[in-house]
Structure 1
Amino acid sequence: METEPWQWPERTWRGHVGAVRAGRRLVPSSWPGGARVAVALSFDSDHETIPLRDGETSPGRLAQGEYGARVGAGRVLELLAEHGLPATFFMPAVSALLHPAEAKDYASGPHEIGVHGWIHERNTLLSEKDERDLVRRSLDTLAELTGVRPVGIRTPSWDFSSSTLAIIRELGFAYDSSLMADDEPYEILAGGEPTGLVEIPVDWIRDDAPYFTMDRYGSVRPYTRPRDVLEIWTDEFDAAYRAGGVFQLTLHPHVIGHRSRLVVLRELIDHIRGHQDVWFTTHADLAAAVREIPGSMS
């Protein structure tokens, strides 16, 4: 008979808490080039995969995602090119198959492409076999389409199943960017033991979707003015700058790519560039930099 959580013995709840845990914080005394702060911009190019994942095939729902590929992604790439900035693009394999030229753009120049599932599936609901198969297929698909094998992964559900960590390690990823145990990068522990896997943590505060997402038939509604979000993200960057840490941001072309929201991203970039000693970096280069901290990794 299944017991309630309040009935669990100590070894049970300690086992759950200790399965995947944050280890050593990975922040150097200074970033490459003597920079004071690292800025890691990322974009989850989900496009049509959000409705497809849920079996929603109406043209209206698919068009919301298509906007990201048709309009948003180009605007984002133009803005980054204007300032000469690198970014990391996490892309579901189905999205890359629908938009192969876009995937190639992400894997070229200063940018990086990372794994973001097959069809933006909820990996926590999958069997170990299915999850492993989808991650492997996603990795192989992006590598075949772009000619570059990704070294990083962001799980599409921003969560780990009981099998995710083992699968990520088995497939040789250098870093993950799905968990939220710190503001700064850290090494993931498995059952209390160092794994050598770098975590570049995300957070809903530094994500455009919670502020701006709209679902006509559900309860999800945009609730924050873009310029109010700019204030939040500016405060997040300023705090990271004072601490000498990392400012990591997660955006979506189909969300941030709208005109009034792209204005906010442009102003945020202008604010960041107004500071001295800022290192704009991909997630892969950030993970490589923290690996070089003496004694930091197993």
Structure 2
Amino acid sequence: MTEPAPMQPWQWEEPHWRKLVNRARAGRSLHPTHWPDNKRCAVALSFDSDHETNELRDGGKSIGRLSWGQYGGRVGIPRIREILNRHAVPASFYVPAVTALLHPDEQRALVAEGHEIGIHGWIHELNSVLPESDERDLMLRAADVLESVSGQRPVGLRTPSWDFSDATLSIEKEMGLLYDSSLMADESCYELLLDGEPSGIVEVPVEWVRDDAVYFMMNRFQSLRPYTAPTDVLDIFVREFEAAYQEGGLFQLTMHPHIIGYRSRIWILEEVIRRAKATDDVWFATHADIARWSLAHSREKAA
């Protein structure tokens, strides 16, 4: 007997597409009534320490690409740490478990300097292609490795490549995580709904326009090599910050040590910090601290 053809999206019944939409969705806004010390704006800097896992996750064995990942830990992270420490600015680092095992001293040093370590998968795997049992197992083991290596139990997750599966939010809830930082439904923090019900998990939202990878990543084997000049990337980031400042909101930024760490780009990080500090009215905080503050001081109270 011939298998019936799968239904096309325009053939779906309303309950089906509503279920898809409502699985993980933005709930109440957690835009706070005020920031600490009545600062006008919050700045949350983050770094995805993918390192060698960018090549390993797809079964890659390229020595060249593995060396590019090693650059992130060998050169990128020290440059980032030096800038953050010189300006006394905390940040959040999202670390695959394999990265933590390859670079344990890096994670311990970051925690000692007051930075946050967050979950970023086991080997930077894509959650959407995993069975739920595998995703849960990898996430739990990743959290245990990060705690064992760094001495700090992670309270937040950023899914690798911001790839969020149908099961991710329910697993986060099972783990009792404070927050997620993988989704894009707002520019302020919000509570995530799981199948229409409050999950208790704070979303610290990301966005591609506030990510260095989309501007600088290129493949030399492709005919099209997208690239944005560092001065133009700074302009985008600064405009995002200035708008967040005017709104009294949150400016969240995502960077990668193996991308932003180069001599011609690392100055972008310092310039963003310098311009934010020049206002003398900004709270720099980890994503965990942003999530805690937003949850405790939100304008919209829980039902």
Question: TM-score band, normalised by the shorter chain?
Answer: over 0.9
- Counting only pairs closer than 5 Å after superposition, residues 51-62 of structure 1 correspond to structure 2 as 51-62=55-66
Query: Offset at 1:17?
Result: 0.8
Specify the code of the residue in structure 2 equivalent to 1:239.
Answer: A
The residue number in structure 2 matching 1:179 is 183
Give distance in 2, aligned partners of 1:297 and 1:211: 38
- Residues in 1 aligned to 2:22 and 2:119: alpha-carbon distance in whole angstroms: 26
* Stretch moving more, 139-148 or 220-229: 220-229
Counterpart contact for 2:218–2:227, Cα < 8 Å:
no
Q: What secondary structure is seen at the aligned counterpart in 1 of 2:44?
A: strand
Which of the residues 27, 39, 42 maps onto 1:38?
A: 42
Once the two structures are TM-superposed, the CA of residue 106 in structure 1 deviates from its matched residue by 2.2
Q: Is the 8 A contact 2:183 2:205 kept in 1?
A: yes
Structure 1 residue 196 and structure 2 residue 200: aligned?
yes
Q: Which runs of 4+ in 1 moved over 4 A?
A: none
Report the residue type matching 2:21 in the other structure. Answer: V
From 155, 158, 164, give the equivalent of 2:159.
Answer: 155
1:107 pairs with 2:98: no
Whether 1:85 and 2:89 are equivalent positions in the alignment is yes
Deviations 1:58-102 (A, max 9, x none): 211111111100000000000000100000000000001000000
Residue of structure 2 aligned with 1:235, choices 235, 239, 242: 239
- TM superposition shift of 1:143: 0.4
8 Å contact kept, 2:216–2:226: yes
- Distance in 1, Cα, partners of 2:229 & 2:302: 41
Percent identity, aligned pairs only, is: 56
Greater shift, 66-75 or 108-117, is seen at 108-117
Q: Residue deviations 1:152-200, cap 9 Å, x none?
A: 1100131321111111110111000000000110000112111110000
SS at match of 2:112: coil
The one-letter code sitting in structure 2 at the alignment partner of 1:225 is: A
Aligned residue for 2:161, secondary structure, equals coil
Q: CA deviation at 1:219?
A: 5.8
Does the CA-based 8 Å contact 1:291-1:297 persist in structure 2? no
Tell me how far 1:270 sits from its aligned partner. Answer: 1.0
Paired position in structure 2 for 1:296: 301
Measured in 2, the distance between the counterparts of 1:123 and 1:61 equals 22
Secondary structure, in 3 states, of the residue corresponding to 2:162? coil
Give the letter for the 1:65 counterpart: G
State the secondary structure of the residue aligned to 1:117. coil
Q: Could you say which residue in structure 2 is the equivalent of 1:256?
A: 260
Say yes or no: does 1:67 pair with 2:61: no
Letter in 2 for 1:167: I
Q: How does the TM-score come out when normalised to structure 2? A: 0.96
Aligned pairs, how many?
298
- What SS does the aligned partner of 1:54 have? coil
Amino acid at match of 1:128: E
Q: Say whether the 8 Å CA contact 1:39–1:278 is kept in structure 2.
A: yes
Matched, 1:137 2:131: no
Offset from partner CA, 1:4-48 (integer Å, 9 cap, x none): 001001111111111111011111121011111000000000000
Paired with 2:72 and 2:24, the residues of 1 have a C-alpha distance of 33
CA contact (8 A) 2:34 2:297 kept: no
1:62 is paired with a residue of what secondary structure?
helix
Match of 1:121 in 2: 125
Q: 1 CA distance for matches of 2:7 and 2:74?
A: 50
Question: SS where residue 192 of structure 2 aligns?
Answer: strand
Q: Distance in 2 between matches of 1:19 and 1:44?
A: 26
102-111 or 229-238, larger mean C-alpha shift: 102-111
Answer yes or no: is the 8 Å Cα contact 2:46–2:93 preserved in 1.
yes
TM-score by length of 1: 0.97
- Answer with 174-183 or 264-273: which moved more: 264-273
* 1:124 Cα deviation from its structure 2 partner: 0.6
The C-alpha deviation readout for 1:192-215, integer Å capped at 9, x for no partner, is 111110000000000000100122
Task: Give CA deviations for 1:242-261 in whole Å, capped at 9, x if unaligned.
Answer: 11110000000000000110
Deviates more, 1:134-143 or 1:106-115: 106-115
Query: Residue 127 of structure 2 aligns to which amino acid in structure 1?
Result: N
For residues 50 and 223 of structure 2, the distance between their equivalents in structure 1, rounded to whole angstroms, comes to: 21
Would you say the 8 A contact 2:29–2:191 is kept in 1? yes
Cα RMSD over matched residues? 1.2
Distance (whole Å) between structure 2 residues aligned to residue 125 and residue 110 of structure 1: 35
